């Protein structure tokens, strides 16, 4: 079902994109956007390994290590809101690549930091770039994608996190094995995060503008839209002379996210579930080297990094991969519910069963299962759902709000996890995390299931902003069906 007239040039572009087979263009776009998420994961999670060094070297307190861990996540809230909004106002392409340049500055500055204050400043700069990467990359890929494989393609972008998770501790092990000093190791770990971000700046600047954005917001289908269709090797009806005039666009704004009950409930669902997940995920993940050090206090830094690497490689990476190749069949919302439910069960076992938190092996088993289902479920699906469930004119704005609020959850999780663990112990802290996973599964129920549906079809329902009028009333608006892309 297409929410535009495929007989028109504008409608033909959108219908053609919905039906397009997977092509080299799709994979190139996924790789260009995905390298940013490799960088995001590397930069965000390598700080856990760095803090094992800095805590001893700079004599950091628990609150200071929490602040370093959480600084980038707090700043990511700001970056997501800013870049999410400007991508709806000025287009997806206009500033795409700037967020990668900001990440380069933040990574290099972190590596060269002479003191704790400067390290926190540059981690905040890094966080602004990371936050900006979320809404723009997600929506660019979502709007390039066909209806059948949209979850797979957007999931591929996000699954590059898996590589970043593995490369961070692996790089640390390599640097330690060749004999670098601990001071040089942590600086190199931060600085190397600038390389992949720098490598995609040019590629992002050369990507075409989103055709769905052009048709829905700019009211035209020429230029970059036709270029994408040509790259996708699909047919679009030829345009009659003078026919590519602006469409009668009814553009939505930030206020519509509040005025429309449907859009507000959807935003609460996407932002709320992502907040809950990131609180649990980042608090646990960034603290993983510290948790393992507490479980095995006599282990060397190399052993701690090796255990962290093994956990990410064995549990996290397969979860990402399986999510990419199954979510369009299983359902994006359904997969999120499954992931939250299994996470809750694993954390309950860790919290309730005696002895699980007193030895490395049993803890790693249940913690690893929770990690697998985190990647197989909500870590991927929260990113994908937020790029699908909102109309084109506010899509990056809504994704930016959702991902920004999620990073507030991550900030809180990272900051309070060591404090909670010290106060209530690891079992009590993970029991709280399990309860929040149950809440995440329940909140997911308010969302629609977007798997294998066209963005156009979903936009028609999501754009009912005038007092939540019925679909029939909204479709009576002249030109409405042609503007929801």
Q: In the chain, what are the domain boundaries?
A: 9-235+250-476
Task: Identify the pLDDT of residue 226.
Answer: 54
**Average of per-residue pLDDT across 473-483:** 35
**Average of per-residue pLDDT across 59-68:** 88
**Average of per-residue pLDDT across 362-386:** 93
Which tokens in the block code for residue 454? 């066209």
| CATH superfamily of the domain spanning 9-235+250-476 | MFS general substrate transporter like domains (1.20.1250.20)
Distances (CA, A) of 220 to 169, 206, 217, 378: 47, 20, 8, 36
**Average of per-residue pLDDT across 172-199:** 90
Task: Identify the pLDDT of residue 267.
Answer: 97
Higher pLDDT, 308 or 4: 308
> SS3 for 284?
helix
Task: Identify the pLDDT of residue 268.
Answer: 97
Check whether 169 has a pLDDT greater than 50. yes
Task: Identify the pLDDT of residue 219.
Answer: 60
Which tokens in the block code for residue 207? 């990507």
Check whether 180 has a pLDDT greater than 90. no
Which tokens in the block code for residue 161? 């996190």
Task: Identify the pLDDT of residue 360.
Answer: 75
pLDDT one-digit tens code per residue, 253-311: 888 898 889 999 999 999 999 999 999 888 777 666 666 666 667 777 777 778 777 87
Q: Is the dihedral of CA 458, 464, 465, 468 positive or negative?
A: negative
Task: Identify the pLDDT of residue 484.
Answer: 36
Please count the helices (runs of H) and the strands (runs of E) in the chain.
Answer: 22, 0
Q: What is the mean pLDDT of the chain?
A: 83
Check whether 341 has a pLDDT greater than 90. yes
pLDDT one-digit tens code per residue, 14-49: 677 788 788 888 888 999 999 988 998 899 878 878
Which tokens in the block code for residue 325? 């190749």
Residue 260 · residue 474 · CB < 8 Å: no
Rounded CA gap, 438 and 162, in Å? Answer: 24
pLDDT one-digit tens code per residue, 186-203: 999 999 999 999 999 998
Task: Identify the pLDDT of residue 227.
Answer: 57
Check whether 379 has a pLDDT greater than 50. yes
pLDDT one-digit tens code per residue, 229-254: 555 544 444 443 333 343 444 578 88
Which residues touch 484 (CB under 8 Å, ≥6 apart)? 3, 4, 216, 391, 392, 456, 459, 460, 463
């Amino acid at each position: 079902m297409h929410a535009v007239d495929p007989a028109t040039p504008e409608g033909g572009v959108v219908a053609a994109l919905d039906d397009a087979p997977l092509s080299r263009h799709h994979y190139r776009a996924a790789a260009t956007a995905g390298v940013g998420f490799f960088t995001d994961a590397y930069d965000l999670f390598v700080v856990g390994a760095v803090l094992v060094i800095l805590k001893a070297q700079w004599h950091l307190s628990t609150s200071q290590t929490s602040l370093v861990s959480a600084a980038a996540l707090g700043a990511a809230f700001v970056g997501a809101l800013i870049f999410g909004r400007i991508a709806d106002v000025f287009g997806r392409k206009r500033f795409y690549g700037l967020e990668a340049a900001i990440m380069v500055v933040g990574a290099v500055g972190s590596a060269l930091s002479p003191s704790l204050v400067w390290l926190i400043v540059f981690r905040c700069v890094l966080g602004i770039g990371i936050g900006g990467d979320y809404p723009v990359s997600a929506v660019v890929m979502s709007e390039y994608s066909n209806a059948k494989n949209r979850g797979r393609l957007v999931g591929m972008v996000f699954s590059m996190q898996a590589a970043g998770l593995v490369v961070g501790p692996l790089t640390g092990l390599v640097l330690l094995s060749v004999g670098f000093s601990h001071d040089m190791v942590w600086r190199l770990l931060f600085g190397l995060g600038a390389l992949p971000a720098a490598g995609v700046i040019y590629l992002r600047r050369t990507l075409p503008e989103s055709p769905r954005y052009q048709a829905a917001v700019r009211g035209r289908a020429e230029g970059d839209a036709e270029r994408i269709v040509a790259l996708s090797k699909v047919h679009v009806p030829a345009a009659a002379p003078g026919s590519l005039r602006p469409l009668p666009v009814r553009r939505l704004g930030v206020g519509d996210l509040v005025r429309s009950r449907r859009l507000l409930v959807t935003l609460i669902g996407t932002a709320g579930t992502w907040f809950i997940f990131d609180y649990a995920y980042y608090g646990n993940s960034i603290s993983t080297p510290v948790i393992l050090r507490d479980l095995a206090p006599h282990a060397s830094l190399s052993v701690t990094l090796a255990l962290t690497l093994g956990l990410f490689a064995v549990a996290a990476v397969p979860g990402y991969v399986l999510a990419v190749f199954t979510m369009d069949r299983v359902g994006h919302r359904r997969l999120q519910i499954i992931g939250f439910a299994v996470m809750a069960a694993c954390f309950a076992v860790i919290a309730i069963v005696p002895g699980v938190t007193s030895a490395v092996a049993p803890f790693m088993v249940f913690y690893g299962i929770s990690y697998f289902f985190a990647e197989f479920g909500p870590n991927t699906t929260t990113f994908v759902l937020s790029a699908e469930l909102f109309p084109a004119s506010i899509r990056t704005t809504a994704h930016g709000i959702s991902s920004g609020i999620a990073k507030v959850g991550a900030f809180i999780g990272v900051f309070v996890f060591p404090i909670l663990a010290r106060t209530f112990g690891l079992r009590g802290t993970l029991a709280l995390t399990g309860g929040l996973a149950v809440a995440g599964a329940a909140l997911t129920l308010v969302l629609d299931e977007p798997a294998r549906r066209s963005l156009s079809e979903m936009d028609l329902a999501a754009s009912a902003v005038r007092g939540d009028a019925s679909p029939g009333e909204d479709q009576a608006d002249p030109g409405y069906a042609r503007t929801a892309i």
